[in-house]
Structure 1
Amino acid sequence: MLNLKILLLSRKFEIYSSHRLVEEIVSRGHTPLLWDPEWPLERLKIKPDIIIPRISSFQFQGAVKVLGALESMAAVSLNPSQNYSVARNKWQTYQALSANHIATPPTFLGNSFLSVLRGSTERKLLPLEFPVIVKQLESSKGDGVFLAKSVEEIYEIFQKTGDAELIVQEFFPEAFGTDVRAFVIGDQIHAVMKRTAQPGEFRSNLALGGTAEACELLPGESELILKATRLLGLQVSGVDLLRTRKGSLVLEANPCPGLEGIEKYSKKNLASSIIQYAEELYDKHQTSR
Protein backbone atom coordinates (compact mmCIF):
# COMPACT_ATOMS: atom_id res chain seq x y z
CA MET A 1 0.00 0.00 0.00
CA LEU A 2 1.28 3.41 -0.95
CA ASN A 3 1.67 6.21 1.54
CA LEU A 4 -1.82 7.71 1.39
CA LYS A 5 -2.79 11.20 2.50
CA ILE A 6 -5.76 10.74 4.82
CA LEU A 7 -7.64 13.88 5.85
CA LEU A 8 -9.50 13.89 9.17
CA LEU A 9 -12.26 16.52 9.04
CA SER A 10 -13.01 17.50 12.62
CA ARG A 11 -13.24 20.38 15.07
CA LYS A 12 -11.81 18.35 17.94
CA PHE A 13 -8.42 16.80 17.25
CA GLU A 14 -7.62 16.39 20.95
CA ILE A 15 -10.38 13.87 21.72
CA TYR A 16 -9.87 10.10 21.93
CA SER A 17 -11.48 9.21 18.58
CA SER A 18 -9.37 11.70 16.62
CA HIS A 19 -6.21 10.68 18.45
CA ARG A 20 -6.80 6.98 17.76
CA LEU A 21 -7.50 7.52 14.07
CA VAL A 22 -4.35 9.60 13.64
CA GLU A 23 -2.38 6.98 15.55
CA GLU A 24 -3.56 4.21 13.23
CA ILE A 25 -3.09 6.31 10.09
CA VAL A 26 0.56 6.74 11.04
CA SER A 27 1.04 3.15 12.19
CA ARG A 28 -0.21 1.88 8.81
CA GLY A 29 2.33 4.06 6.99
CA HIS A 30 0.12 6.93 5.84
CA THR A 31 0.19 10.71 6.26
CA PRO A 32 -2.55 12.31 8.40
CA LEU A 33 -3.97 15.68 7.39
CA LEU A 34 -5.96 17.45 10.11
CA TRP A 35 -8.57 19.90 8.87
CA ASP A 36 -11.14 22.01 10.72
CA PRO A 37 -14.26 22.79 8.62
CA GLU A 38 -13.93 26.44 9.72
CA TRP A 39 -10.60 26.82 7.92
CA PRO A 40 -10.62 28.35 4.39
CA LEU A 41 -10.22 25.58 1.84
CA GLU A 42 -7.85 27.64 -0.28
CA ARG A 43 -5.27 27.08 2.46
CA LEU A 44 -5.34 23.31 1.86
CA LYS A 45 -2.27 22.80 -0.33
CA ILE A 46 -2.19 18.98 -0.27
CA LYS A 47 -4.76 16.96 -2.18
CA PRO A 48 -6.10 14.18 0.09
CA ASP A 49 -6.60 10.60 -1.09
CA ILE A 50 -9.11 9.71 1.61
CA ILE A 51 -11.43 11.80 3.79
CA ILE A 52 -12.66 10.65 7.19
CA PRO A 53 -15.38 13.08 8.34
CA ARG A 54 -15.97 13.48 12.07
CA ILE A 55 -18.62 16.21 12.02
CA SER A 56 -20.67 16.95 15.12
CA SER A 57 -23.99 18.79 15.33
CA PHE A 58 -22.28 22.15 15.95
CA GLN A 59 -22.71 24.33 12.83
CA PHE A 60 -23.43 21.13 10.98
CA GLN A 61 -24.75 22.46 7.66
CA GLY A 62 -21.64 24.53 7.03
CA ALA A 63 -19.38 21.59 7.85
CA VAL A 64 -21.26 19.32 5.44
CA LYS A 65 -20.75 21.85 2.64
CA VAL A 66 -17.02 21.75 3.33
CA LEU A 67 -17.13 17.94 3.23
CA GLY A 68 -18.87 18.09 -0.15
CA ALA A 69 -16.17 20.40 -1.50
CA LEU A 70 -13.41 18.12 -0.19
CA GLU A 71 -15.00 15.10 -1.84
CA SER A 72 -14.25 16.58 -5.25
CA MET A 73 -10.55 16.32 -4.40
CA ALA A 74 -10.37 12.83 -2.88
CA ALA A 75 -10.89 9.30 -4.16
CA VAL A 76 -12.70 8.06 -1.04
CA SER A 77 -14.90 9.63 1.64
CA LEU A 78 -16.12 7.83 4.78
CA ASN A 79 -19.08 8.70 4.81
CA PRO A 80 -20.22 10.69 1.72
CA SER A 81 -21.72 14.10 2.53
CA GLN A 82 -25.22 13.38 1.22
CA ASN A 83 -25.55 10.17 3.24
CA TYR A 84 -23.94 11.83 6.24
CA SER A 85 -26.57 14.59 6.18
CA VAL A 86 -29.50 12.17 6.12
CA ALA A 87 -28.09 10.03 8.92
CA ARG A 88 -27.46 13.10 11.09
CA ASN A 89 -31.06 14.28 10.69
CA LYS A 90 -33.32 12.21 12.95
CA TRP A 91 -36.48 12.95 11.00
CA GLN A 92 -34.96 12.07 7.62
CA THR A 93 -33.52 8.91 9.16
CA TYR A 94 -36.94 7.93 10.53
CA GLN A 95 -38.58 8.55 7.16
CA ALA A 96 -36.01 6.41 5.34
CA LEU A 97 -36.22 3.56 7.86
CA SER A 98 -40.00 3.47 8.12
CA ALA A 99 -40.50 3.75 4.35
CA ASN A 100 -38.34 0.64 3.94
CA HIS A 101 -40.05 -1.33 6.72
CA ILE A 102 -37.12 -1.22 9.12
CA ALA A 103 -38.45 -1.37 12.68
CA THR A 104 -38.04 2.00 14.42
CA PRO A 105 -39.96 3.85 17.17
CA PRO A 106 -43.15 5.69 16.08
CA THR A 107 -42.05 9.26 15.43
CA PHE A 108 -43.79 12.53 14.55
CA LEU A 109 -42.49 15.89 13.36
CA GLY A 110 -43.71 19.21 14.71
CA ASN A 111 -42.84 22.49 12.95
CA SER A 112 -43.99 24.31 16.06
CA PHE A 113 -45.80 23.51 19.26
CA LEU A 114 -49.17 24.26 17.64
CA SER A 115 -48.43 22.00 14.67
CA VAL A 116 -47.67 19.16 17.09
CA LEU A 117 -51.12 19.63 18.58
CA ARG A 118 -52.82 19.94 15.18
CA GLY A 119 -51.10 16.76 14.06
CA SER A 120 -52.71 14.98 16.98
CA THR A 121 -56.27 16.14 16.19
CA GLU A 122 -55.87 18.86 18.84
CA ARG A 123 -57.11 16.56 21.58
CA LYS A 124 -54.55 13.87 22.08
CA LEU A 125 -50.81 14.32 21.55
CA LEU A 126 -49.82 12.50 18.40
CA PRO A 127 -51.48 9.19 19.28
CA LEU A 128 -48.76 8.55 21.91
CA GLU A 129 -49.08 8.13 25.64
CA PHE A 130 -47.06 10.28 28.01
CA PRO A 131 -44.23 10.38 28.72
CA VAL A 132 -42.75 10.90 25.25
CA ILE A 133 -39.24 11.53 23.96
CA VAL A 134 -38.62 14.89 22.30
CA LYS A 135 -35.47 15.35 20.20
CA GLN A 136 -33.70 18.03 18.24
CA LEU A 137 -33.13 16.87 14.67
CA GLU A 138 -29.33 16.93 14.70
CA SER A 139 -28.56 16.32 18.36
CA SER A 140 -25.77 13.98 19.48
CA LYS A 141 -24.30 12.45 22.65
CA GLY A 142 -27.67 12.78 24.38
CA ASP A 143 -27.77 16.56 24.10
CA GLY A 144 -31.06 17.88 22.77
CA VAL A 145 -32.99 14.78 23.91
CA PHE A 146 -35.77 15.32 26.47
CA LEU A 147 -38.40 13.32 28.33
CA ALA A 148 -41.76 15.14 28.36
CA LYS A 149 -44.56 14.11 30.71
CA SER A 150 -47.19 16.59 29.55
CA VAL A 151 -48.22 18.96 26.78
CA GLU A 152 -46.93 21.82 28.91
CA GLU A 153 -43.48 20.24 29.09
CA ILE A 154 -43.38 19.90 25.30
CA TYR A 155 -44.23 23.58 25.02
CA GLU A 156 -41.38 24.39 27.45
CA ILE A 157 -38.95 22.33 25.35
CA PHE A 158 -39.89 24.26 22.20
CA GLN A 159 -39.32 27.50 24.08
CA LYS A 160 -36.05 26.29 25.61
CA THR A 161 -34.47 25.05 22.39
CA GLY A 162 -35.80 27.77 20.09
CA ASP A 163 -36.06 25.15 17.35
CA ALA A 164 -38.60 25.38 14.57
CA GLU A 165 -38.66 21.60 14.30
CA LEU A 166 -38.46 18.84 16.87
CA ILE A 167 -39.49 15.21 16.71
CA VAL A 168 -41.72 13.46 19.23
CA GLN A 169 -41.13 9.75 19.72
CA GLU A 170 -42.68 6.90 21.67
CA PHE A 171 -41.02 6.17 25.03
CA PHE A 172 -40.38 2.56 26.03
CA PRO A 173 -40.01 2.30 29.83
CA GLU A 174 -39.42 -1.45 29.62
CA ALA A 175 -35.97 -0.76 28.12
CA PHE A 176 -34.92 0.46 31.62
CA GLY A 177 -32.56 3.11 30.24
CA THR A 178 -30.54 0.64 28.17
CA ASP A 179 -29.77 0.34 24.50
CA VAL A 180 -27.35 -1.55 22.25
CA ARG A 181 -24.65 0.11 20.15
CA ALA A 182 -23.29 -1.85 17.17
CA PHE A 183 -20.20 -0.54 15.41
CA VAL A 184 -20.41 -1.20 11.67
CA ILE A 185 -17.59 -0.86 9.14
CA GLY A 186 -18.47 -1.67 5.57
CA ASP A 187 -20.90 -4.58 5.64
CA GLN A 188 -19.63 -6.08 8.89
CA ILE A 189 -20.52 -5.58 12.54
CA HIS A 190 -17.15 -5.25 14.28
CA ALA A 191 -18.19 -4.68 17.90
CA VAL A 192 -21.29 -4.52 20.10
CA MET A 193 -21.91 -3.09 23.56
CA LYS A 194 -24.91 -2.58 25.82
CA ARG A 195 -25.17 0.88 27.37
CA THR A 196 -27.03 1.59 30.61
CA ALA A 197 -28.06 5.01 31.91
CA GLN A 198 -27.02 6.12 35.35
CA PRO A 199 -29.75 6.06 38.03
CA GLY A 200 -32.41 8.70 37.46
CA GLU A 201 -31.38 9.24 33.81
CA PHE A 202 -33.23 7.85 30.76
CA ARG A 203 -30.39 8.52 28.28
CA SER A 204 -27.75 5.82 28.08
CA ASN A 205 -25.03 7.89 26.38
CA LEU A 206 -21.57 7.36 27.86
CA ALA A 207 -20.97 11.10 27.56
CA LEU A 208 -23.74 11.57 30.14
CA GLY A 209 -22.33 9.10 32.62
CA GLY A 210 -23.81 5.90 31.26
CA THR A 211 -21.98 2.61 31.69
CA ALA A 212 -21.36 -0.12 29.13
CA GLU A 213 -20.50 -3.78 28.78
CA ALA A 214 -19.86 -6.13 25.88
CA CYS A 215 -22.93 -8.03 24.75
CA GLU A 216 -24.22 -10.38 22.07
CA LEU A 217 -26.84 -9.54 19.47
CA LEU A 218 -30.20 -11.30 19.55
CA PRO A 219 -31.46 -13.29 16.55
CA GLY A 220 -32.46 -10.96 13.74
CA GLU A 221 -30.63 -7.93 15.11
CA SER A 222 -27.60 -8.29 12.84
CA GLU A 223 -29.82 -8.29 9.77
CA LEU A 224 -31.72 -5.25 11.09
CA ILE A 225 -28.49 -3.33 11.72
CA LEU A 226 -26.93 -4.07 8.35
CA LYS A 227 -30.15 -3.35 6.49
CA ALA A 228 -30.26 0.10 8.12
CA THR A 229 -26.65 0.95 7.27
CA ARG A 230 -27.02 -0.20 3.67
CA LEU A 231 -30.19 1.83 3.26
CA LEU A 232 -28.54 4.98 4.65
CA GLY A 233 -25.40 4.42 2.58
CA LEU A 234 -23.04 4.53 5.56
CA GLN A 235 -19.59 2.93 5.45
CA VAL A 236 -18.84 3.60 9.11
CA SER A 237 -21.62 3.94 11.67
CA GLY A 238 -22.76 3.32 15.20
CA VAL A 239 -26.24 1.80 15.07
CA ASP A 240 -28.33 2.12 18.23
CA LEU A 241 -30.98 -0.48 18.99
CA LEU A 242 -33.72 -0.40 21.61
CA ARG A 243 -35.07 -3.72 22.89
CA THR A 244 -38.78 -3.24 23.53
CA ARG A 245 -42.13 -5.03 23.81
CA LYS A 246 -42.41 -4.40 20.04
CA GLY A 247 -39.09 -6.13 19.41
CA SER A 248 -35.72 -4.59 18.56
CA LEU A 249 -36.04 -1.11 17.05
CA VAL A 250 -33.41 1.00 15.27
CA LEU A 251 -33.08 4.34 17.06
CA GLU A 252 -30.48 5.83 14.74
CA ALA A 253 -27.33 5.16 12.74
CA ASN A 254 -24.67 7.62 13.87
CA PRO A 255 -22.28 8.51 10.99
CA CYS A 256 -19.72 9.77 13.51
CA PRO A 257 -19.61 7.09 16.23
CA GLY A 258 -17.23 7.57 19.13
CA LEU A 259 -14.41 5.07 19.58
CA GLU A 260 -13.44 5.41 23.22
CA GLY A 261 -16.20 3.46 24.94
CA ILE A 262 -16.65 0.71 22.40
CA GLU A 263 -12.91 0.07 21.93
CA LYS A 264 -12.61 -0.19 25.70
CA TYR A 265 -15.50 -2.59 26.23
CA SER A 266 -15.08 -4.69 23.09
CA LYS A 267 -11.26 -4.73 23.34
CA LYS A 268 -11.07 -4.33 19.56
CA ASN A 269 -8.91 -1.98 17.50
CA LEU A 270 -11.71 -0.30 15.59
CA ALA A 271 -9.58 2.66 14.52
CA SER A 272 -7.26 0.30 12.67
CA SER A 273 -10.24 -1.47 11.07
CA ILE A 274 -11.56 1.87 9.79
CA ILE A 275 -8.22 2.75 8.16
CA GLN A 276 -7.89 -0.73 6.69
CA TYR A 277 -11.38 -0.46 5.19
CA ALA A 278 -10.55 2.97 3.75
CA GLU A 279 -7.44 1.43 2.13
CA GLU A 280 -9.61 -1.26 0.54
CA LEU A 281 -12.03 1.30 -0.86
CA TYR A 282 -9.11 3.31 -2.24
CA ASP A 283 -7.70 0.21 -3.96
CA LYS A 284 -11.09 -0.53 -5.53
CA HIS A 285 -11.35 3.04 -6.76
CA GLN A 286 -7.91 2.89 -8.35
CA THR A 287 -8.47 -0.46 -10.06
CA SER A 288 -11.85 0.64 -11.45
CA ARG A 289 -10.40 3.72 -13.16
Structure 2
Amino acid sequence: MNIVILSRNIGLYSTKRLVEEGVKRGHQVEVIDPLKCEIIIEKEQPKIYYRDRYLDYVDAIIPRIGSSVTFYGCAVVRQFEMMNVFTTVTSDSIIRSRDKLRSLQRLTKAGVGMPKTVFTNYSRDVEEVINSVGGTPVIIKLLEGTQGLGVVLAETKNAAESVLEAFNGLQARVIVQEFIKEAKGADLRALVVDGQVVGAMKRQGKEGEFRSNLHRGGSANIVKLNEAELKLAMQASRALKLPVCGVDMLQSDRGPLLLEVNSTPGLEGIEKATGRNISRSIITYIERNYK
Protein backbone atom coordinates (compact mmCIF):
# COMPACT_ATOMS: atom_id res chain seq x y z
CA MET A 1 0.00 0.00 0.00
CA ASN A 2 1.05 3.60 -0.60
CA ILE A 3 0.43 5.51 2.63
CA VAL A 4 0.85 9.27 3.00
CA ILE A 5 1.24 10.96 6.37
CA LEU A 6 0.09 14.57 6.19
CA SER A 7 2.50 16.29 8.54
CA ARG A 8 4.45 19.54 8.49
CA ASN A 9 7.38 18.08 10.43
CA ILE A 10 8.97 14.75 9.54
CA GLY A 11 11.02 14.91 12.74
CA LEU A 12 8.06 14.72 15.12
CA TYR A 13 7.91 11.56 17.25
CA SER A 14 4.40 10.63 16.09
CA THR A 15 5.27 11.08 12.41
CA LYS A 16 8.51 9.09 12.69
CA ARG A 17 6.83 6.22 14.52
CA LEU A 18 4.04 5.94 11.97
CA VAL A 19 6.63 5.83 9.17
CA GLU A 20 8.61 3.13 11.01
CA GLU A 21 5.61 0.90 11.61
CA GLY A 22 4.26 1.37 8.08
CA VAL A 23 7.61 0.35 6.56
CA LYS A 24 7.84 -2.64 8.92
CA ARG A 25 4.46 -3.80 7.62
CA GLY A 26 5.77 -3.66 4.05
CA HIS A 27 4.12 -0.43 2.90
CA GLN A 28 5.48 2.55 1.00
CA VAL A 29 5.21 5.46 3.42
CA GLU A 30 5.72 9.11 2.53
CA VAL A 31 5.48 12.27 4.65
CA ILE A 32 3.91 15.23 2.85
CA ASP A 33 3.43 18.79 4.06
CA PRO A 34 -0.27 19.58 3.44
CA LEU A 35 0.47 23.30 3.05
CA LYS A 36 2.66 22.54 0.02
CA CYS A 37 -0.10 20.63 -1.75
CA GLU A 38 -1.96 22.27 -4.63
CA ILE A 39 -5.64 21.38 -4.89
CA ILE A 40 -6.86 21.07 -8.47
CA ILE A 41 -10.63 21.29 -8.80
CA GLU A 42 -12.01 19.97 -12.05
CA LYS A 43 -15.25 18.25 -12.98
CA GLU A 44 -15.04 14.57 -11.97
CA GLN A 45 -11.24 14.82 -11.89
CA PRO A 46 -10.13 15.98 -8.43
CA LYS A 47 -6.33 16.06 -8.18
CA ILE A 48 -3.57 17.04 -5.79
CA TYR A 49 -0.21 18.26 -7.05
CA TYR A 50 2.79 18.15 -4.71
CA ARG A 51 6.14 19.59 -5.74
CA ASP A 52 6.82 17.72 -9.00
CA ARG A 53 4.04 15.14 -9.23
CA TYR A 54 0.36 14.33 -8.93
CA LEU A 55 -0.61 12.30 -5.88
CA ASP A 56 -2.78 9.88 -7.84
CA TYR A 57 -1.09 6.75 -6.51
CA VAL A 58 -2.04 7.13 -2.83
CA ASP A 59 -4.09 4.38 -1.17
CA ALA A 60 -4.49 5.85 2.32
CA ILE A 61 -3.63 8.95 4.33
CA ILE A 62 -3.00 9.61 8.01
CA PRO A 63 -3.81 13.28 8.73
CA ARG A 64 -1.59 14.90 11.36
CA ILE A 65 -3.10 18.35 10.94
CA GLY A 66 -2.08 20.99 13.49
CA SER A 67 -4.78 23.31 14.81
CA SER A 68 -3.09 26.36 13.28
CA VAL A 69 -3.50 24.93 9.75
CA THR A 70 -6.93 23.36 10.16
CA PHE A 71 -8.56 25.19 7.25
CA TYR A 72 -6.10 24.33 4.49
CA GLY A 73 -5.07 21.00 6.01
CA CYS A 74 -8.68 19.81 6.04
CA ALA A 75 -9.17 21.07 2.49
CA VAL A 76 -6.33 18.74 1.43
CA VAL A 77 -7.84 15.83 3.38
CA ARG A 78 -11.22 16.54 1.73
CA GLN A 79 -9.60 16.49 -1.69
CA PHE A 80 -8.10 13.06 -0.98
CA GLU A 81 -11.58 11.93 0.06
CA MET A 82 -12.92 13.17 -3.29
CA MET A 83 -10.25 10.99 -4.91
CA ASN A 84 -11.59 7.95 -2.98
CA VAL A 85 -8.46 7.69 -0.82
CA PHE A 86 -8.97 6.10 2.61
CA THR A 87 -8.31 8.38 5.58
CA THR A 88 -7.98 7.44 9.24
CA VAL A 89 -10.05 10.51 10.16
CA THR A 90 -12.23 12.53 7.79
CA SER A 91 -11.98 16.25 7.17
CA ASP A 92 -15.45 16.82 8.63
CA SER A 93 -14.61 14.96 11.83
CA ILE A 94 -11.41 16.98 12.31
CA ILE A 95 -13.27 20.26 11.86
CA ARG A 96 -16.04 19.07 14.18
CA SER A 97 -13.58 18.16 16.95
CA ARG A 98 -11.65 21.45 16.65
CA ASP A 99 -14.81 23.43 17.40
CA LYS A 100 -14.96 22.96 21.18
CA LEU A 101 -18.48 24.31 21.56
CA ARG A 102 -19.91 22.30 18.67
CA SER A 103 -18.24 19.10 19.84
CA LEU A 104 -19.46 19.54 23.43
CA GLN A 105 -23.00 20.06 22.15
CA ARG A 106 -22.84 16.86 20.08
CA LEU A 107 -21.28 14.91 22.95
CA THR A 108 -23.86 15.97 25.53
CA LYS A 109 -26.65 15.02 23.11
CA ALA A 110 -25.03 11.58 22.83
CA GLY A 111 -25.27 11.21 26.61
CA VAL A 112 -21.58 11.72 27.40
CA GLY A 113 -20.98 13.00 30.95
CA MET A 114 -18.95 16.19 31.31
CA PRO A 115 -18.36 19.03 33.77
CA LYS A 116 -21.10 21.68 33.95
CA THR A 117 -20.35 24.11 31.13
CA VAL A 118 -21.62 27.55 30.16
CA PHE A 119 -21.07 29.49 26.95
CA THR A 120 -22.40 33.01 26.47
CA ASN A 121 -22.18 35.72 23.86
CA TYR A 122 -20.00 38.15 25.86
CA SER A 123 -22.56 38.32 28.68
CA ARG A 124 -22.11 41.17 31.14
CA ASP A 125 -23.84 39.14 33.84
CA VAL A 126 -20.67 37.26 34.76
CA GLU A 127 -21.95 36.51 38.27
CA GLU A 128 -24.82 34.46 36.85
CA VAL A 129 -22.40 32.59 34.54
CA ILE A 130 -20.23 31.63 37.53
CA ASN A 131 -23.25 30.56 39.59
CA SER A 132 -24.51 28.39 36.70
CA VAL A 133 -21.52 26.04 37.06
CA GLY A 134 -21.72 25.88 40.84
CA GLY A 135 -19.61 28.87 41.83
CA THR A 136 -15.86 29.25 42.19
CA PRO A 137 -13.35 27.89 41.59
CA VAL A 138 -14.07 27.67 37.86
CA ILE A 139 -12.14 26.80 34.73
CA ILE A 140 -12.24 29.37 31.93
CA LYS A 141 -11.15 28.15 28.48
CA LEU A 142 -10.59 29.92 25.20
CA LEU A 143 -12.49 28.08 22.47
CA GLU A 144 -9.36 28.07 20.30
CA GLY A 145 -6.86 27.01 23.00
CA THR A 146 -4.67 23.90 22.67
CA GLN A 147 -2.20 21.98 24.87
CA GLY A 148 -3.34 23.83 27.99
CA LEU A 149 -2.89 27.30 26.47
CA GLY A 150 -5.80 29.67 27.01
CA VAL A 151 -7.00 27.79 30.12
CA VAL A 152 -7.34 29.68 33.40
CA LEU A 153 -8.26 28.51 36.90
CA ALA A 154 -10.13 31.29 38.71
CA GLU A 155 -10.23 30.41 42.39
CA THR A 156 -12.32 33.33 43.66
CA LYS A 157 -15.40 35.18 42.47
CA ASN A 158 -13.42 38.38 41.96
CA ALA A 159 -10.76 36.57 39.93
CA ALA A 160 -13.36 34.82 37.75
CA GLU A 161 -15.22 38.07 37.10
CA SER A 162 -11.97 39.86 36.21
CA VAL A 163 -10.88 37.14 33.76
CA LEU A 164 -14.30 36.96 32.09
CA GLU A 165 -14.52 40.74 31.78
CA ALA A 166 -11.02 40.83 30.28
CA PHE A 167 -11.82 38.13 27.71
CA ASN A 168 -15.14 39.83 26.91
CA GLY A 169 -13.32 43.11 26.37
CA LEU A 170 -11.02 41.40 23.89
CA GLN A 171 -14.04 39.71 22.26
CA ALA A 172 -12.41 36.35 22.90
CA ARG A 173 -14.97 33.55 23.06
CA VAL A 174 -14.68 31.34 26.13
CA ILE A 175 -16.47 28.55 27.91
CA VAL A 176 -16.76 28.34 31.69
CA GLN A 177 -16.64 24.94 33.37
CA GLU A 178 -16.95 23.70 36.92
CA PHE A 179 -13.70 22.79 38.64
CA ILE A 180 -13.50 19.10 39.56
CA LYS A 181 -11.53 19.31 42.80
CA GLU A 182 -11.37 15.57 43.42
CA ALA A 183 -9.43 15.04 40.15
CA LYS A 184 -6.44 16.60 41.99
CA GLY A 185 -4.80 18.02 38.87
CA ALA A 186 -4.85 14.69 37.00
CA ASP A 187 -6.73 13.42 33.97
CA LEU A 188 -6.98 10.28 31.86
CA ARG A 189 -6.07 10.04 28.17
CA ALA A 190 -7.53 7.09 26.29
CA LEU A 191 -6.24 6.39 22.78
CA VAL A 192 -8.97 5.01 20.53
CA VAL A 193 -8.20 3.18 17.27
CA ASP A 194 -10.95 1.69 15.13
CA GLY A 195 -13.45 2.54 17.84
CA GLN A 196 -11.61 0.54 20.56
CA VAL A 197 -9.36 1.74 23.38
CA VAL A 198 -5.83 0.50 22.64
CA GLY A 199 -4.00 2.29 25.44
CA ALA A 200 -4.61 4.63 28.37
CA MET A 201 -2.51 6.76 30.69
CA LYS A 202 -3.04 8.93 33.73
CA ARG A 203 -1.47 12.38 33.42
CA GLN A 204 -0.58 14.28 36.56
CA GLY A 205 0.15 18.00 36.55
CA LYS A 206 3.35 19.15 38.22
CA GLU A 207 3.07 20.51 41.75
CA GLY A 208 1.00 23.69 41.85
CA GLU A 209 -0.28 23.18 38.27
CA PHE A 210 -3.93 22.30 37.63
CA ARG A 211 -3.26 21.43 33.96
CA SER A 212 -1.94 17.92 33.37
CA ASN A 213 -0.61 18.46 29.81
CA LEU A 214 2.76 16.74 29.27
CA HIS A 215 3.86 19.82 27.29
CA ARG A 216 3.53 21.77 30.54
CA GLY A 217 5.72 19.49 32.63
CA GLY A 218 3.15 16.89 33.64
CA SER A 219 3.99 13.20 34.12
CA ALA A 220 2.23 10.12 32.77
CA ASN A 221 1.77 6.51 33.86
CA ILE A 222 -0.12 3.55 32.45
CA VAL A 223 -3.60 3.08 33.85
CA LYS A 224 -6.32 0.45 33.50
CA LEU A 225 -9.65 2.06 32.73
CA ASN A 226 -12.79 0.84 34.43
CA GLU A 227 -15.94 -0.08 32.52
CA ALA A 228 -17.47 3.41 32.76
CA GLU A 229 -14.26 5.06 31.51
CA LEU A 230 -13.95 2.65 28.58
CA LYS A 231 -17.59 3.26 27.67
CA LEU A 232 -17.15 7.05 27.76
CA ALA A 233 -14.06 6.93 25.51
CA MET A 234 -15.73 4.77 22.88
CA GLN A 235 -19.00 6.73 23.11
CA ALA A 236 -17.14 10.01 22.50
CA SER A 237 -15.28 8.49 19.53
CA ARG A 238 -18.56 7.39 17.95
CA ALA A 239 -20.37 10.67 18.65
CA LEU A 240 -17.74 12.71 16.79
CA LYS A 241 -17.16 10.00 14.16
CA LEU A 242 -13.45 9.82 15.00
CA PRO A 243 -12.28 6.19 14.75
CA VAL A 244 -8.77 7.35 15.72
CA CYS A 245 -8.60 9.92 18.52
CA GLY A 246 -7.45 10.79 22.00
CA VAL A 247 -10.18 11.14 24.63
CA ASP A 248 -9.39 13.16 27.76
CA MET A 249 -11.50 12.70 30.87
CA LEU A 250 -11.53 13.46 34.59
CA GLN A 251 -12.22 11.08 37.45
CA SER A 252 -14.96 12.58 39.60
CA ASP A 253 -17.23 11.51 42.44
CA ARG A 254 -20.06 11.12 39.93
CA GLY A 255 -18.06 9.05 37.44
CA PRO A 256 -15.80 9.90 34.49
CA LEU A 257 -16.35 13.32 32.90
CA LEU A 258 -15.19 14.19 29.41
CA LEU A 259 -12.81 17.11 28.89
CA GLU A 260 -12.21 16.99 25.14
CA VAL A 261 -11.58 14.76 22.14
CA ASN A 262 -8.38 15.23 20.13
CA SER A 263 -8.47 14.25 16.45
CA THR A 264 -4.65 14.36 16.16
CA PRO A 265 -3.38 12.96 19.45
CA GLY A 266 0.35 12.84 20.09
CA LEU A 267 1.74 9.31 20.36
CA GLU A 268 4.96 9.88 22.30
CA GLY A 269 3.50 10.25 25.78
CA ILE A 270 1.10 7.33 25.58
CA GLU A 271 3.50 4.91 23.86
CA LYS A 272 6.21 5.61 26.45
CA ALA A 273 3.81 5.51 29.40
CA THR A 274 2.02 2.31 28.37
CA GLY A 275 4.64 0.44 26.35
CA ARG A 276 1.92 -0.17 23.76
CA ASN A 277 2.63 0.03 20.03
CA ILE A 278 -0.11 2.51 19.17
CA SER A 279 1.52 3.38 15.83
CA ARG A 280 1.24 -0.22 14.66
CA SER A 281 -2.41 -0.29 15.70
CA ILE A 282 -3.09 2.68 13.41
CA ILE A 283 -1.33 1.01 10.47
CA THR A 284 -3.25 -2.24 10.98
CA TYR A 285 -6.48 -0.24 11.18
CA ILE A 286 -5.75 1.07 7.69
CA GLU A 287 -5.00 -2.46 6.45
CA ARG A 288 -8.34 -3.73 7.74
CA ASN A 289 -10.48 -0.92 6.40
CA TYR A 290 -9.03 1.03 3.46
CA LYS A 291 -10.75 -0.89 0.67
Q: Please, what TM-score do these two structures have when normalized by structure 2? A: 0.88
CA distance in 2, matches of 1:142, 1:258: 14
Partner residue, 1:32 = 29
CA distance in 2, matches of 1:145, 1:221: 24
Q: Residue 239 of structure 1 is aligned with which of 227, 247, 250?
A: 247
Report the aligned-residue RMSD: 1.8
Question: Are 2:209 and 1:201 aligned?
Answer: yes
Q: Give the alignment of 1:21-170 within 5 angstroms.
A: 21-41=18-38, 42-44=48-50, 45-47=54-56, 48-112=58-122, 115=123, 117-118=124-125, 123=128, 125=130, 127-128=132-133, 129-149=135-155, 150-158=160-168, 162=170, 164-170=172-178
Question: Are 2:221 and 1:213 aligned?
Answer: yes
Instruction: Kindly provide the amino acid, as one letter, of the partner of residue 154 in structure 2.
Output: A
CA distance in 1, matches of 2:84, 2:185: 41
- CA displacement at 1:111 relative to structure 2: 3.3
CA distance in 1, matches of 2:128, 2:196: 46
Instruction: Kindly provide the amino acid, as one letter, of the partner of residue 62 in structure 1.
Output: Y
CA distance in 2, matches of 1:191, 1:261: 11
CA distance in 2, matches of 1:111, 1:17: 37
Partner residue, 1:10 = 7
- CA displacement at 1:266 relative to structure 2: 0.8
Give aligned pairs, total.
273
CA distance in 1, matches of 2:250, 2:289: 31
Unaligned runs of 5+ in 1: none
Give the direction of change, closer, same or farther, for the CA distance of 1:108–1:262 in structure 2 (3 Å limit).
same
- CA displacement, residues 32-86 of structure 1 (integer Å, 9 cap, x when unaligned): 2222221132533222211111112113223222221222224311101111111
Give the direction of change, closer, same or farther, for the CA distance of 1:163–1:278 in structure 2 (3 Å limit).
farther
Question: Any conservation in 1 of the 2:118–2:129 contact (CA below 8 Å)?
Answer: no
Unaligned runs of 5+ in 2: 39-47
Give the direction of change, closer, same or farther, for the CA distance of 1:123–1:259 in structure 2 (3 Å limit).
closer
Give the direction of change, closer, same or farther, for the CA distance of 1:164–1:153 in structure 2 (3 Å limit).
closer
Q: Please, what TM-score do these two structures have when normalized by structure 1? A: 0.88
